[in-house]
Amino acid sequence: MSHQAADSCRREDGTASVELIGVVPFLLLAVLVAAQIGVAGYAMWSAGVAARAGARAGLVGRDAAQAARTALPGALRDGATVSDRGEVSVRVPIPRIVPMMPSLRIGAAAGLEPDE
């Protein structure tokens, strides 16, 4: 190997490490965003399940709001808002993975009509 080629190889030593350090924050941000989207989807799905459970309970004469609240996972139950006016509406806060994110709520509603 010539002297010039050896100098060129030495100048590139460590560049992969520097590039990796530059990319890691963006990879971490992408993982956090994906996780937050997953948590939001879970909250929306849970609100829908709870609204349907409340509507079914109301259809058979039980307390719809209590049934909806019981159907929610414990982590979402504390901040949930349940209303029973013609249809069962459930709103839950989306758990935040990053504390700096704004507090958001998501909801679902369901109403079952008896077959005649």
Q: How far is CA 67 from CA 50, 82, 102, in A?
A: 8, 10, 29
Q: Is the pLDDT of residue 50 over 90?
A: yes
Helix (H, G, I), strand (E, B) or coil at 13: coil
- Condensed to tens digits (0 to 9), the pLDDT of residues 53-70 reads 999 999 999 999 999 999
- 3 beta partners: none
What's the token pair of residue 86? 């013609």
pTM of the model: 0.77
